Structure 1
Amino acid sequence: MTEQSSSRCVAITGGAGGIGQAIAAHLERLGRRVYVLDREGAQTRTGVFVPCDVLDRDSVDAAVETVYQDDPGPIDLICAAGIVEDDVAAEDLPEDLVHRVMGVNFHGTFSACQAFGRRLLDHGTGSIVLISSMSGNLVVNYPQRQSIYNSSKAAVTALAKSLAVEWGPRGVRVNALSPGYVDTPLNSLKAHMHEGWRAGTVLGRFASTQEIADAAEFLLSDRASYCTGTELVVDGGYSLR
């Protein structure tokens, strides 16, 4: 095991908000050069901002080119871009919303993995962390209805495991991080559900974004050098109930 990957660069999709922003700030404090990939107009004080819309493959490819023009790499990757449908019954979900949630959460994650993964495979080394969710295959959330979000995150976890098998022998590790309920601005909009969520969590509270950032940094780093295809669940025990 070496310390090489602990100091090199990392790109983070969805890095301008929520969990992605917390991870970006944490890694920058640790001395990493961080590229924040997010949509035009996103606000960030962390790292190097690179415009990127994960729904647009040309935008993803352009972002990869921009990052590698700035640094020869290898560039590790964290995929944190994600959205959720807002408590909509499955029978009422409009088709465009289904495509958008699956598009950002799964297809956008795959696009980033493929584009950055090709470069990492050329280098023969690298670490990728996909932000999944306990909702992917461990729980079905209640009382909110989010069938497409849950399905998309199950696909993200499966993608991490599949890529781990394909790319591990070629030097690239891929792992999934599955948070439970996290104290983010997005969750603050559903305050009427918080009491039930906390009651269902063994530790009786939400995770801080820093706790999720710590877990992401571990999976990315050489301290997890024998982890690939791992799903690290950080849910305060919610999935145990």
Structure 2
Amino acid sequence: MSRTALVTGGSRGMGAAIALRLAQEGADVAITYVRGEEAAQEVVRKIEATGQRGIALRADAADADAPGRAVALAAERLGQLDVLVNNAGVGVLGPIESLSVGDVDQVISVNVRAVFLASQAAAARMERGGRIISVGSCMAQHVPGPGGTLYAMSKSALTGLTKALARELGARGITANLVHPGPIDTDMNPADGPYAEPQKAGTALGRFGRPEEVASLIAYLTSDEAAYVTGAELSVDGGHAA
């Protein structure tokens, strides 16, 4: 049986690129989405064009029951679960005094609680060789200006979670790692958008990254070659944190 993977938030941007790359590496892939069913189904069609199975599951990460349910459905429909990529996330930026309790609850529920719950559910199902990979942010390592307190806090929490997962699951041969993307050219943050130039200037390479560049690192972390890599924070940020 081929390896299987669940990529949360896999209907567009980095998530779609990650899902497709894992399929190209030989995995059957389930993705989750909240809105945009047609976009999710298009990703499934691309996955299936590689010869692998693709599944789209509607799951709102802000719902406390959704992460565990998505993991269970993916494992049931694919027959097992070998890889979890916690990619779904939200960003609420603004001066700290402008942020509401609702903003805090939304960001923490999606960026932290959902990652924990999905990882918890996946760990209960994974066999030796399993992989849990979470997508953080370059802002967890270097915040270039004001307005990022809530988002940076939420992504920084994944460092502690990842290191603790690595210790807890290591004896079972399951690895846990964290990938910090820098500015990546997606529809949510386009490389030609109104806020692009300062982001480019904040990198050592002076450009945005491509979703496929993030996907390539995640593909490596799912591979046998990365079996000795766990508890690590790895950046794909063009030198944003340099």
TM-score (norm 1): 0.89
Match of 1:218 in 2: 220
Equivalent of 1:191, from 165, 187, 193?
Answer: 193
How far apart are 1:27 and its partner, in Å?
A: 1.4
| Matched residue SS, 2:195 | helix
State the distance in 2 between where 1:157 and 1:16 align: 25
Note the alpha carbon deviations across 1:159-189, whole angstroms, 9 max, x for none. Answer: 1111101111122100000011111111129
Aligned position for 2:86: 79
Alignment of 1:43-192 (within 5 A): 43-44=39-40, 45-46=42-43, 47-85=54-92, 87-120=93-126, 123-136=127-140, 138-142=141-145, 145-188=147-190, 191-192=193-194
Distance 1:184 1:40 in 2: 16
SS in structure 2 of the partner of residue 177 of structure 1: strand
1 CA distance for matches of 2:142 and 2:71? 34
Q: In the alignment, does 2:34 pair up with 1:34? A: no
Partner of 1:206: 208
Contact 1:201 1:238 in 2 (8 A): yes
Q: How far did 1:218 drift?
A: 0.8
One-letter code of the match for 2:138?
A: M
Q: CA deviation at 1:153?
A: 0.5
Could you give the per-residue CA deviations for residues 207-235 of structure 1, whole angstroms, max 9, x where no partner exists?
A: 00010010111112111111000111111
In the alignment, the residues of structure 1 paired with residue 75 and residue 60 of structure 2 have an alpha-carbon distance, to the nearest angstrom, of 17
* Identity across the alignment (%): 35
Give the whole-Å Cα distance in 1 for the aligned partners of 2:194 and 2:74. Answer: 41
Q: Which amino acid aligns with 2:217?
A: A
State the one-letter code of the partner of 2:66: S
Question: How much has 1:190 moved relative to structure 2?
Answer: 8.3
What's the Cα RMSD here? 1.8
Distance, in Å, in 1 between the alignment partners of 2:82 and 2:57 is: 14
Aligned partner letter, 1:135: M
CA distance in 2, matches of 1:113, 1:217: 18
Quick one: distance in 2 between partners of 1:57 and 1:239? 33
Q: CA contact under 8 A between 1:40 and 1:52: conserved in structure 2?
A: no
CA distance in structure 2 between the aligned counterparts of 1:114 and 1:17, rounded to whole angstroms: 25
Q: Name structure 1 gaps, 5 residues minimum.
A: none
Does the 8 A contact of 2:74 with 2:81 survive in 1?
no
What is the alpha-carbon distance in structure 2 between the residues aligned to residue 28 and residue 80 of structure 1? 16
- Equivalent residue of 1:206, what SS? coil
How many residue pairs were aligned? Answer: 230
CA contact (8 A) 2:185 2:191 kept: no
2:46 maps to none
SS of 2:189's partner is: helix
CA contact (8 A) 2:83 2:132 kept: yes
Counterpart-to-counterpart distance in 1, 2:75 and 2:190: 37
Aligned-partner Cα distance in 2 for 1:55–1:99: 9
Q: Determine the structure 2 residue equivalent to 1:229.
A: 231
